[in-house]
A and B are shown apart, each in its own frame.
Chain A
Amino acid sequence: MPSNKKHLLPNNIQENSEAEWLGSLFRKAVEDIERSGMQGTMLAEAWRFTDLNSFKVFEPIAATNTAVVSCPKFFAELDAVELHISNGALIWKDTFPEYVDLFDLADRKIAPSWLTEALGSAINTEMHPFAAINTTAFSGGVAMRIRKDAVMKKPIILLVDTQANDKIIVANPRVLVVLEEGAVVDLIEVHTGSGIYINNVVTELIIGKNARIGHYKLQTEDTDAFHIAMNAAHCAANSIYDNFALSTGAKLSRNEISATLDGIHTKYSINGSYLGCSDQHMETVTFIDHAKPSCVSHELYKGVLVNHAQGVFQGKILVRKNAQKTNGYQMNRALLLSKEVKINSKPELEIYADDVMCSHGATVGELDEEQIFYLMARGISKKQARAILVSAYVEEAINYINNLLIRDLFTMVASNWMQQNITDTQDINGS
């Protein structure tokens, strides 16, 4: 973390310090920011692939609310309830069923106890300086609670939009999702925007016993924007958490996903894909903390990089001492389609229990020439052959989305990207 991070703090942090219910959380985050410059090796290591100098140009001002925005149209077909966050503030909410409690985090007067108990509980701001900044500076966002045994039939679409117009702004939206025992919900998070801005978003999920959540994130920020996301979950026993993230946007994105599996028989699947072109920097950081026995985690990340794009994958599985019978799988594959792309991959295992099955893998390479030849020999153009192979490659990850309707939507986004970015001219062979 650079020593000059203070300039990323927008000018409204005073508001958060004044909100009484936020007081202690705020003070700790401020302390963490002060301290984080001294955290040294561990923190530097976590950020070693990210060029933080690119933030230096910023003299950001706090985002102000803008007009109503609408969902990308391909999501409009989905029968869902929507929440819109614009420039860090909640500006629109559909009517939700009575078993869902919603709270606008801009409300500084009094907060329900379920919220104050949960907010900040899944995040260690000490090790996540941007999450600490969000904690001190968020001026809005949404907290929701799905009550015990409630089953949401319609998925929730959470649209996070940032409009910079002609100013450089930083938005700090905050999202909290609390699932009580046995609750079931599908949540789609969509990030869009236009202009030069930092979207520094923190999403926390507190997943109760036997609860089930499908959480699907689509990041299509402006290609001049910075997307720094922290997605932290706390999973109780027997819960099922299905996480998927598809990233195509932003000039620099760092999508950090962490989960603590804090109850037996928790099932956690964390899959995703990053599709990078031009000079995008796309970073995915995942951390799975197996804290209790008999949990299963499955991770598959697939990246496609063209032009000058740079991909980073840092994945870590921690198996704690008593987390026996853990089954952990982690795989990151990156497909490099042009000569100038770059990939840094660091899949990491840290294991302190012996009766476990943990494996991880990583591969980096180009498309198989023989496969392209096979398709071309059957009358398919080179461009099409490449597109077919790349989409098959990405779909392997997308197919882990459980909800079929949502899976189709994500497939569509990916294939749109491919149509624009996969050509037959990208010559990859060194010859």
Chain B
Amino acid sequence: MSATADTLRHVEEFTSRAYKHGFVTEICMDMAPKGLDESTVRFISNKKEEPDWLLEKRLQALNYWRLMKEPNWAKITHPPIDYNGLYYYAAPLDKPKLNSLKEVSPELLVTYEKLGIPLKEQELLAGVVAVDAVFDSVSVATTYKKELEKCGIVFCSISEAVRNHSELTRRYLGSVVPSMDNFFACLNSAVFTDGSFVYIPKGVRCPIELSTYFRINAQNTGQFERTLIIADEGSYVSYLEGCTAPQRDENQLHAAVVELIALDNAEIKYSTVQNWYPGDENGNGGIYNFVTKRGICRGKYAKISWTQVETGSAITWKYPSCILQGDGSVGEFYSVAITNNLQQADTGTKMIHLGKDTKSTIVSKGISAGNSNNTYRGLVRAGRRADRARNFTQCDSLLIGDKCGAHTVPYIESKNPSSRIEHEATASKISEDQLFYCTSRGLSAENAVGLIVNGFCKEVMKELPMEFAIEAQKLVAISLEGSVG
């Protein structure tokens, strides 16, 4: 049928298009010397005016990291990364400390405008989203901080938190993802530059969605974000993370660590839209996204929910996980991963049931097109004490074109007979019947596919906060535009 031919034609059409967010801002940068050794770590720590305990932690991590080997179990291939050929610190020179947006360098503002997050507008529009905008490694401007302060909420850059809230950072930083957790988390622990810190006090419901836009800008700069969110008893927070990056030929490494801690009855909702530069149709360039994200439901009836829409990056290696320690705690993972051209995504989740009556839901939708490979890799584990633990997992893959791959690698490990774990997965293409049904009602082939794919992802999309849902839908539309017939 012509749909297949159409698809192929559209894939070609799409792949020849340039990356929409590919541009480079020329700003003078303050950089650490190339390479990674103790002096780099000291340089970063010094720049951040960090206390000794953190420097010690960093150096310890660096020593561990030197002994570790890069993991090779994921279904991804890439040329070896020269960790000594990277810059580990880059910050805009101009404005280390800012009081208002007026002091932000105009180039930066233009950059953000191109990305569609004009800070000025944000400030004027008032009260919807607070943006802790990260340009490369230093927090440039933080808005709505005061409003949040009224509720007792701390929302600032991690380096600021280390200085001003050391009791919290010292207690929780590295408590969910320890330095030695894995190769990339360890690297991050040694050289992390900046990121966001959120603390929601007892019983507070965060009135607005907190949001951070990440941006990788300087060429050859590894980006090592560190995010720490603590939701105290009975609190609620919804956090949004969105990313776009400019076009570069050299591969850029991104190894972030995100830690979430939910105490009794607290709820954290973490949403990500990731649209980093995926590389061109020949697989040149693109971001390597090796992220460690993990949340722990430490208290009773706590809840952590991960929602992600992954459309960018040349390589995605990412497993947002939940440790369900508190009795009755809940973990959720909703994911849409779209790969095209030569993109590779190996993503999934881990649900570790430790407490009694813990529940988890996993819904993963993978869409592969072009020559890409899309893997779901997940683990559901019920410990000996996890009585009546309950998990439901659903992984659906959609293949577009006959050159891509879709893989499902779930692990189910149960040590408790009263736990109930279900996994189901399907892989298929868009059925000719569905296409025919839509086209016979006057939709163009492309619109029909858009409709069907949107329906395919709907379960996940509806989990996104309103502000994000629109952006995510746009992203999916851009990614699928032309890639499906």
| Chain A residues at the B interface, C-beta cutoff of 8 Å | 40-41, 45, 321, 324, 334, 336-339, 341-366, 428-430
9 CB < 8 A contacts A-B: A344-B414, A347-B410, A354-B401, A356-B428, A359-B427, A363-B420, A364-B421, A428-B418, A430-B388
Nearest to A318 among chain B residues (CB) is: B407
Take A344-B412, A346-B409, A359-B427 as given contacts and tell me if A364 and B399 are in contact as well, using a CB distance cutoff of 8 Å.
no
Least distance between B362 CB and chain A CB atoms (Å): 13
Across the two chains, which residue of chain A brings its CB closest to B391? A364
Given the known A-B contacts A351-B397, A429-B418, are A364 and B424 also in contact in the complex, defined by CB atoms under 8 Å?
Answer: no
Contacts A354-B401, A366-B418 given; indicate if A346 touches B408 (C-beta within 8 A). Answer: no
Once A360-B424, A428-B418, A430-B356 are accepted as A-B contacts, the answer to whether A349 and B406 lie under 8 Å apart by CB is yes
In the complex, the answer to whether A358 meets B410 with C-beta atoms within 8 Å is no
Contacts of B53 in A (CB 8 A): none
Which residue, of A40, A364, A365, has the highest number of chain B Cβ atoms within 10 A? A364
Neighbour of A337 across the interface among B356, B417, B421, B429, CB < 8 A: B417
Which chain B residues lie closer than 8 Å to A429 at the CB level? 387, 418
Residues of B within 8 A of A40 (CB): 72
- Given A41-B73, A351-B406, decide whether A358 and B426 contact each other with a Cβ distance below 8 A: yes
Q: Which chain B residue has the least Cβ–Cβ distance from A355?
A: B429
Given contacts A344-B411, A355-B429, A358-B428, are A338 and B423 in contact (CB under 8 A)?
no
Total B residues in contact with A, Cβ cutoff 8 Å: 38
Which residues of A sit under 8 angstroms from B439, Cβ to Cβ? none
Q: Determine the residue in chain B with the shortest Cβ distance to A310.
A: B415
Which chain A positions have C-beta within 8 A of B404?
A: 352, 354
B419 lies within 8 A of chain A by Cβ: yes
CB distance from B61 to the nearest CB of A (A): 24
Q: How far is the CA of A351 from the CA of B418 in the complex (A)?
A: 33
Q: How far is it, in angstroms, between the C-alpha of A358 and the C-alpha of B406 when the chains are bound?
A: 11
Pick the residue among B382, B402, B407, B410 that contacts A355 (CB under 8 A): B402
Q: Is the beta-carbon distance between A343 and B413 smaller than 8 angstroms? A: yes
Q: Is B400 an interface residue (CB 8 A)?
A: yes
B408 shortest CB reach to chain A, Å:
4
A45 pairs with B429, CB closer than 8 A: no
User: In the complex, are the beta carbons of B405 and A351 less than 8 A apart?
Assistant: yes
Q: Chain A contacts of B426 at CB under 8 A?
A: 357-359
* Contacting residue for A360 out of B400, B414, B425, CB 8 A: B425
Number of A-B contacts (CB under 8 A): 126
For A45, what are the chain B residues with a Cβ–Cβ distance below 8 Å? 73
Shortest beta-carbon contacts, A-B, top 7: A430-B387, A336-B417, A354-B399, A365-B420, A345-B412, A361-B424, A349-B408
CB pair A349–B425 under 8 Å, yes or no, is: yes
Say yes or no: B72 contacts A343, CB within 8 Å.
no
Taking CB atoms, residues of chain B closer than 8 Å to A350 are 405, 407
Whether A356 contacts B72 in the complex (CB less than 8 A), given A342-B414, A346-B409, comes out as no
Which residues of chain A are near B122, meaning CB under 8 Å? none
- When distances are taken between beta carbons in the complex, the residues of chain B under 8 Å from A321 are 402-403
B147 at interface, CB cutoff 8 A: no
- B419 contacts across to A, CB distance below 8 A: 364-365
Evaluate contact between A364 and B420: CB separation under 8 angstroms: yes
Complex CA–CA separation, A360 to B427 (angstroms): 9
The residue that B402 contacts in the complex, of A338, A349, A354, with Cβ under 8 A, is: A354
> Which A-chain residue is minimally distant from B75 (CB atoms)?
A350
Find chain B residues with CB under 8 A from A364 CB: 382, 412, 414, 419-422
Interface residues of B (CB under 8 A from A): 72-73, 356, 382, 387-388, 397, 399-429
Are the CB atoms of B411 and A346 closer together than 8 Å?
A: yes
Which of A41, A337, A341, A347 meets B423, CB within 8 Å? A347
Select the residue from A324, A351, A361, A429 with max chain B CB neighbours within 10 A: A351
Which residues of chain A come closer than 8 Å to B413, judged between CB atoms? 342-345
Q: Which residues of A contact B421 (CB under 8 A)?
A: 362-365
Knowing A354-B400, A354-B404, A354-B429, the reply to whether A338 touches B424 (Cβ < 8 A) is no
Residues of B contacting A360 with CB < 8 Å?
408, 423-425
B328 smallest CB distance to A (angstroms): 14
A351–B382 Cα distance when bound, in Å, is 28
In whole angstroms, what is the CA distance A344 to B415 when docked?
9
Q: How far is the CA of A351 from the CA of B409 in the complex (A)?
A: 11
How many Å lie between the Cα of A343 and that of B418 in the bound state? 12
State in angstroms the CA–CA spacing of A169 and B406 once bound together: 44
Bound state CA distance, A147 and B397, in angstroms?
A: 43
Q: A349 and B416 in contact (CB under 8 A), knowing A354-B404, A361-B422, A364-B421? A: no
B72 cross-chain contacts in A, Cβ below 8 A: 40-41
What CA separation (Å) do A365 and B419 show in the bound complex? 6
Within the complex, which residue of A41, A349, A352, A366 is in contact with B417, where a contact is CB–CB below 8 Å?
Answer: A366
Tell me the nearest residue of chain B to A306, going by C-beta. B417
**Which one of A337, A343, A348, A361 lies within 8 Å of B414 (CB-CB)?**
A343
A326 to B298, CA, bound (A): 45
| CA gap between A349 and B72 in the complex, in Å | 19
Which residues of the other chain, A, contact B73 by a CB distance below 8 angstroms? 41, 45
CB atoms of A428 and B417 under 8 A apart: yes
- A285 to chain B minimum Cβ distance, whole angstroms, is 14
Nearest-CB residue, chain B, relative to A311: B414
When chains A and B are docked, how far (Å) is the Cα of A338 from the Cα of B387?
A: 13
B357 to chain A, nearest CB (A): 9
By beta carbon, the residue of chain A nearest B412 is A345
Q: Which B residues lie within 8 Å of A358 (CB)?
A: 426-428
How far apart are the CA atoms of A430 and B355 in the complex, in Å? 12
Nearest residue (CB) in A for B418 is A430
Query: Could you tell me the distance between the alpha carbons of A409 and B387 in the complex, rounded to whole angstroms?
Result: 37
> Knowing A321-B402, A324-B402, A430-B356 touch, does A362 contact B422 (C-beta < 8 A)?
yes
Contact A430 B416 (CB under 8 A): yes
**Chain A residues within 8 Å of B422, by CB:** 361-365
The answer to whether A361 and B423 touch across the interface, beta carbons within 8 angstroms, is yes
CA A337 to CA B414, docked complex, whole Å:
12
CA distance A190 to B35 in the complex (A): 62
Which of B356, B382, B410 counts the most chain A CB atoms within 10 A?
Answer: B410
A85–chain B nearest beta-carbon distance, Å: 36
In the complex, the answer to whether B408 meets A348 with C-beta atoms within 8 Å is yes
A353 touches B399 (CB 8 A): yes
Cα(A346)–Cα(B409), bound, Å = 7
Instruction: List 16 additional A-B contacts (Cβ < 8 Å) besides A346-B412, A365-B417.
Output: A41-B72, A321-B402, A339-B416, A339-B417, A342-B413, A344-B412, A349-B406, A350-B405, A351-B397, A354-B400, A354-B402, A357-B426, A358-B426, A363-B420, A365-B421, A366-B418
Residues on the B chain within 8 Å of A324, using CB: 402
Task: Report the minimum CB–CB distance from A393 to chain B (whole Å).
Answer: 14
Q: How far is the CA of A344 from the CA of B399 in the complex (A)?
A: 29
**Shortest distance from the beta carbon of B366 to any chain A beta carbon, whole Å:** 10
Q: Which residues of B contact A355 (CB under 8 A)?
A: 402, 429
Distance, CA A354 to CA B415, complexed state (A): 37
Residues of A within 8 A of B415 (CB): 341-342
Question: In the complex the two chains form, is B425's CB within 8 Å of A361's CB?
Answer: yes
> Least Cβ distance of B300 to chain A in Å?
17
User: Hey, which chain A residues are within 8 Å of B417, CB to CB?
Assistant: 336-339, 341, 365-366, 428
